[in-house]
Structure 1
Amino acid sequence: MHDGYKIKRHKMVTLFSHILWYENGEYLLVTPVEKVRIQVEDAPF
Structure 2
Amino acid sequence: MRRTFGPEYVMIRWVAELFNQLRGEALSGEGPPEALFKRVGISRG
More helix by share: 2
TM-score scaled by structure 2? Answer: 0.30
Normalised by the size of structure 1, how large is the TM-score? 0.30
Structure with larger Rg? 2
